[in-house]
Amino acid sequence: MTIAVNLARPVADPMPGVAGAMPAATASPPRGLSASLIAQAEGALLAPHGLDAPALSRVFGQLMAHQVDYADLYFQHTRSEGWSLEEGIVKSGSFSIEQGVGVRAVSGEKTAFAYSDDISLPALESAALATRAIARAGSAGSRPAVCPGAGRELYSPADPLAALAEAQKVALLERLERLARARDPRVVQVMASLAGRHDVVYIARHDGRVSADVRPLVRVSLHVIVEQDGRREQGSAGGGGRFDYSRFTDDVLESYAREAVDQALLNLEARPAPAGTMTVVLGPGWPGVLLHEAVGHGLEGDFNRKGTSAFSGRIGERVAARGVTVVDDGTLEQRRGSLNVDDEGNPTQCTTLIEDGVLRGYLQDTLNARLMGMPITGNGRRESFAHLPMPRMTNTCMLNGDRDPEEIIRSVDRGLYAVNFGGGQVDIVSGKFVFSAAEAWLVEGGRLIHPVKGATLIGNGPDALTRVSMIGNDLALDSGVGTCGKEGQSVPVGVGQPTLRIDGLTVGGTH
C-alpha cells in the first residue's frame, strides 16, 4: 500500500552555479569521484537552500519518531532541452528546469511518500509530517557515511547542454537532414530531433548513508519517408548515451542517415509477410527489446514478490534452453541505461538473471529485497523526485553463444529473419507478447529471399526462451535509444543480444 502526498510549490529561481559543499557535520567521503559528486550535489541541492547535515538529521528525527523500517530523501535538479527539425525548419525548441525532493518512509509493505518542488527545511518538515502516518518498530538513525561502492565513474559529470551553442545544435540537425537527402533522391520527408538532459541527484537515508550522482544523457533521432511510384515507406535511426553532443560527429550522423534511408528503401521492395508457425531468427542488438519486454519485466522483484510473474517462485528451475544466459548490467560505461548508483543510492551491478537456462535471481530495489529476503541489486529506479522507486531494468542483454550468425541463417529451411523491431507489448502475468518487425526478411533454403512487411511476432516470453536453439557469437548493444515504461514512469534503458534462432514461433502476417 502506498500513501502519496503532493506538497508541490512554485519553484523559485533556477539552481545557482554548482559551488560550495555541505558543512563539516557530514562524514568525509573517500577520495575520487564519489567525493567530487557528493560535493557537487551538496553544493547544488543543499547549500543554496540553507540545508546541511543537522537539518537533514532533524527531518529524519521526525520521520523516525514512530520508528519506521526505512526512510530516505531524494533531491533532484534537472535541466533538459529538445530540438526538432522538419523539412529544414525548426519545428520546436524547448528548455526546462525542474527541481524538488521526494520524502519516503517504509513500514513493512506500506509506503508513505510526499514530494515538493520547494527545496527548503519547512517543505521537508511538512513532507516528513505527511509521511509519519505509518509506523512500526524500526531502527534509529546513525552518523552520516558515504554508500560503499559509489566511487565509480561510468560517465563524465559534465553538462551536455553546455557542449554546443543553440545555433550549433540546429546546425547539427540541418547537417543530418542534408546527409539523409543526399543518400537517395527518393527521400521526400526528413524529421530529425535532438534531446539532452543533465541530472544532479542527492540521496540521504535514515541510516546516515548519503550518495550522489551527476548524470548526462543525450539522444539524436532521425525519421525519413521515401516515395517511389506512389508508394511510401519509412525508416528510422538514431543513438545516444551518457555523454555530450560532441559524440555526434559527421561519421556518426552519416551512419544514422544511411541506416534510416536504407531501411526505408528496403521496405519499398518488401512483400507481404507470411503467417503461421515458423522458425524465427532475431538479429543482434536492438531486437533484444523483445527480451526486455517479454522476459525482463517478469524478472523484476515486485512482480515476483506479489506472485504475478510467470517466473514467480522458480529460482533454481530451468526456464530457458541451455546456453541462454541473461544479465542486467548497470555498470557499462556511458550506456543509456547505466547509473553510478541507483535512485536509492545503491551501487548498480551486473546481475545474472538466467544462467545457462536456469533462473538465478530477480532485479531488486530496497523494499522488495527486504521483504523477499534477497540481496539488493541496485535496480531501484524512479522517473523523478515526484515518483516512488521500484525495481527496473538498466541494460539487459543475452550473452554470446558460439555460433556464427551466417551459420544460423543457413540452418533455416523456411522462416523469418527479423533485423529490427518497431513497437511491442507484453502481459507481465501471462508473459504473452506481440512485436512488430520494422525490417524483416523471408528465409528459404538457408538464404535471405526478399524483405517482407507487416510481420508481427506473437508468443509467450518464458515459452520462447525454451525454444532458443542457436545463439550467435555477435553480441551487440542497441545504439542508445531505449525508454522503458512501467506504472506510468519512464526511464532510459539499454538492450542487447547476439543473433538468435527461435523455433516454432507464431508469426502474424498479411497472407
Burial (Cβ within 10 Å: 0-12, 13-18, ≥19) of residue 202: buried
Helix (H) or strand (E) holding 431: none
Residue 373 to residue 375: CA distance in whole angstroms: 7
- For residue 56, report the phi and psi dihedrals to the nearest 5 degrees: -65, -35
Give the mean model confidence (pLDDT) for residues 62-79. Answer: 91
- Amino acid occupying residue 303: F
What lies within 8 Å, CB to CB, of 317 at 6+ separation is: 358, 359
Residue 365 to residue 490: CA distance in whole angstroms: 17
Q: Is the pLDDT of residue 133 over 90?
A: no
* The three three-digit cell numbers of residue 348, written as one number: 548498480
What lies within 8 Å, CB to CB, of 356 at 6+ separation is: 322, 323, 324, 325
What lies within 8 Å, CB to CB, of 358 at 6+ separation is: 316, 317, 318, 319, 320
Q: 565513474: which residue's cell?
A: 153
* Dihedral angle computed from the Cα positions of residues 339, 107, 363 and 484, in that order, rounded to the nearest 10 degrees: -60
In 3D space, the residue among 380, 393, 389 whose CA is nearest the CA of residue 104 turns out to be 389
Q: Is the pLDDT of residue 139 over 70?
A: no
Return the axis-axis angle of helices 121-131 and 53-63, rounded to nearest 10°: 20
Give the mean model confidence (pLDDT) for residues 83-108. Answer: 94
Which residue has better confidence, 383 or 291?
383
What lies within 8 Å, CB to CB, of 107 at 6+ separation is: 68, 69, 134, 135, 136, 138
Query: Cβ(32)–Cβ(151) under 8 Å?
Result: yes
| Cα 321 versus chain centre, distance | 27
- Number of helices and strands (H, E) in the chain? 10, 25
In 3D space, the residue among 505, 497, 503 whose CA is nearest the CA of residue 324 turns out to be 497
Residue 60 to residue 144: CA distance in whole angstroms: 12
Partners of 194 in the β-ladder: 83, 220
DSSP state for residue 32 in the 8-state scheme = T
Partners of 95 in the β-ladder: 81
Q: What region does 103 belong to: left with phi over 0, alpha with psi -120 to 50, or beta?
A: beta
Question: Looking at residue 134, what is its pLDDT?
Answer: 63
pLDDT band of 511, cuts 50, 70, 90 = low
Q: Among positive and negative, which fits the CA dihedral 425, 427, 428, 431? A: negative
Question: C-alpha distances in angstroms, 204 versus 24, 56, 90, 100, 378?
Answer: 16, 8, 42, 14, 16
Residue 288 three-state SS: helix
Q: Is the pLDDT of residue 264 over 80?
A: yes
pLDDT in tens, 464-507: 999 999 999 999 999 999 999 999 999 999 999 999 999 999 99
Q: Mean pLDDT, the chain, as a whole number? A: 89
Query: Cβ(114)–Cβ(103) under 8 Å?
Result: yes
Residue 362 to residue 359: CA distance in whole angstroms: 9
Query: Cβ(232)–Cβ(226) under 8 Å?
Result: yes
Give the mean model confidence (pLDDT) for residues 173-197. Answer: 97
- Amino acid occupying residue 467: R
Give the mean model confidence (pLDDT) for residues 349-366. Answer: 97
* The three three-digit cell numbers of residue 264, written as one number: 526505408
Q: Is the pLDDT of residue 181 over 70?
A: yes
Lowest mean pLDDT among 153-157, 419-423, 424-428: 424-428
Query: Cβ(463)–Cβ(273) under 8 Å?
Result: no
pLDDT in tens, 378-397: 999 999 999 999 999 999 99
* Dihedral angle computed from the Cα positions of residues 288, 291, 293 and 295, in that order, rounded to the nearest 10 degrees: -160
Query: Cβ(194)–Cβ(220) under 8 Å?
Result: yes
